[in-house]
Amino acid sequence: MRTFDAIVIGAGQSGPFLAARMVEKGMTVALIERKFLGGTCVNSGCMPTKTLVASARAAHVARGAGDYGVTIPGEIGIDMRVVRDRARTVTMNARNGLIGWFDGMQDMTVIYGHASFEDARTVTVNGERLTAPRFFLNVGARPTIPDMPGIADINYLTSTSIIQLDTLPKHLAVIGGSYIGLEFAQMYRRFGADVTVIERGPKLASREDADISDAIADILRAEGITVQTDADGIAFAKSGNGIAVSVAAGRPDVLASHVLVATGRTPNTDDLGLDLAGVATDKRGYIIVDDKLATNVEGISALGDCNGRGAFTHTSYNDFEIAAANLLDGEDRKLSDRIPAYALYIDPPLGRVGMTEKEARASGREILISTRPMSRVGRANERGETKGFMKVIADAKTKQILGAAILGIEGDEAIHGFIDAMNAKSPYPVLQRAMPIHPTVSELIPTLLGDLKSV
């Protein structure tokens, strides 16, 4: 049996960086990864998908070049093999960078294999037993495959397998109208496929306010994407060379060449032997952690997607920062201190931070709200990209910003003005009095704040 100061299971966006920090402090660390370093972000999430998004945007801009006085003779073609290979290159460069980094650490032992607990201080991997006083679980999540009629009879795609396509679907049916599904829907429409989004609920991006959700649907429909909500009868059947997707009673089937199942994610916790270690999970399989990422078993912590406290690369990395600060730097950081923020990478993107309007109203506060269409943002008009709008919500009494959304050009970057102000706990008049740079999207933030009104 080999003994380490700490064992990290899973090499996503928390584990490797925490392992490196512990090694810097003189600890011996084993990093166990069953497949690839970098986790979902590097291998099947952010990096390859946003590379594909960039290719899709290039095609979209090229098709509209004439609107800017740029003439491109002939039709715009898509070489899906080049598109796929470009995304693969970005992934491999990042993965190989991690491999090279860890190869240079003397007290780091990287083990490829599946780890499973024997007890709260021992795991087995590749037939070998390893022990340590501390364990950090960063095992991530995988696409959820719901139990829908006929799904076992078809060849469906997931967010992991679709990035390997080197041919263009004729008609892609996207099952699920949340963030992952919507990004792929617009992407493949821009590549040239017919696309239908099928969502069980009444609206797309269900965690958003109705005005944001409606605007997202309008953006996608304007590009020729069919959106079908209230799809309460989803089922599948082979039909010739395609797949017939039943949507709901009284509605015609969607005949698709390919089906992408994008209905959420499931934590990779079912085969870790957590019961043998005594680690508690919730009914969905997420590892239950406290405000400092500790499980109910002393010495075992869970970071990243598997703890259910965030489903993004940046939340996973922040888990690392919290764990490292508390373990190695003598700090007292908590999950409850962070303000939720994320983006939806359709084009234009949605940047979001803090509460929605619905959440703010439910909190019982007296709130102020301001909105501004992107058609009244100079940068958006200059770029010819005026879809979407800006929105901010503030507390009328404390003047603290409660939440904000920017659905529009560069919204994923401009939202950081609100993120920074909220983390600094600055009342909104401070941000309102700032002098922003012209011409930018962010320059309209003070104007937006100046239009706050009671609701």
- Measured between its terminal Cα atoms, the distance across the chain in Å is 65
- Which CATH code of 3.90.1560.10, 3.40.50.300, 3.50.50.60, 3.10.180.10 fits the domain covering 2-142+266-337? 3.50.50.60
Confidence of residue 213 (pLDDT cuts 50, 70, 90): very high
How many Å separate Cα 68 from the centre of its chain? Answer: 33
pLDDT tier at 104 (50, 70, 90 boundaries)? confident
Q: What is the largest CA-CA distance in the chain?
A: 69
- Reported as type and span, the H/E element at residue 266 is strand 265-267
Say whether pLDDT at 105 is over 90: no
Instruction: Output the six-digit token pair for 177.
Output: 């109208």
Q: DSSP alpha helices (H): ranges in 192-312?
A: 210-222, 274-277
Q: Report, at the CATH architecture level, how domain 341-454 is classified.
A: 2-Layer Sandwich (3.30)
Q: Do domains 2-142+266-337 and 341-454 have the same CATH topology?
A: no
C-alpha to C-alpha distance for 34 and 56, rounded to whole angstroms: 32
> How far apart, in whole angstroms, are the C-alpha atoms of residue 390 and residue 383?
17
Domain boundaries, the chain: 2-142+266-337, 151-263, 341-454
> pLDDT (tens digit, 9 = 90+) per residue, 54-66?
999 999 999 999 9
> With 90 as the cut, is the pLDDT of residue 141 above it?
yes
Measured CA to CA, the distance from residue 267 to residue 10 in angstroms comes to 12
> pLDDT of 292-346, one tens digit each?
999 999 999 999 999 999 999 999 999 999 999 999 999 999 999 999 999 999 9
Mean per-residue pLDDT, 91-108: 91
Is residue 135 predicted with pLDDT exceeding 90?
yes
Q: Indicate if the pLDDT at residue 455 is higher than 90.
A: no
Distance CA 369, CA 392 (A): 6
The CATH class of the 151-263 domain is alpha beta
Nearest residue to 196 via CA among 252, 154, 153? 252
Query: Mean pLDDT, to the nearest integer, of 167-193?
Result: 98
106 confidence band (pLDDT: 50, 70, 90): confident
Tokens 């190869």 correspond to what residue? 103
The H-or-E segment that residue 430 falls in is helix 428-432
Active-site residues, by number, are: 438
For the chain, what is the HEC assignment?
Answer: CEECCEEEECCCCCHHHHHHHHHHCCCCEEEEECCCCCHHHHHCCHHHHHHHHHHHHHHHHHHCHHHHCCCCCCCCCCCHHHHHHHHHHHHHHHHHHHHHHHHCCCCEEEEECCCEEEECCEEEECCEEEECCCEEECCCEEECCCCCCCHHHCCCECCCCHHHCCCCCCEEEEECCCHHHHHHHHHHHHHCCEEEEECCCCCCCCCCCHHHHHHHHHHHHHCCCEEECCCCCCEEEEECCEEEEECCCCCCCEEECEEEECCCEEECCCCCCHHHHCCCECCCCCECCCCCCECCCCCEEECHHHHCCCCCHHHHHHHHHHHHHHHHCCCCCCHHHCCCEEEECCCCCEEEEECCHHHHHHCCCCEEEEEEEHHHCHHHHHHCCCCCEEEEEEECCCCEEEEEEEECCCHHHHCHHHHHHHHCCCEHHHHHCCCCCCCCCHHHHHHHHHCCEEC
Strand partners, 354: 403
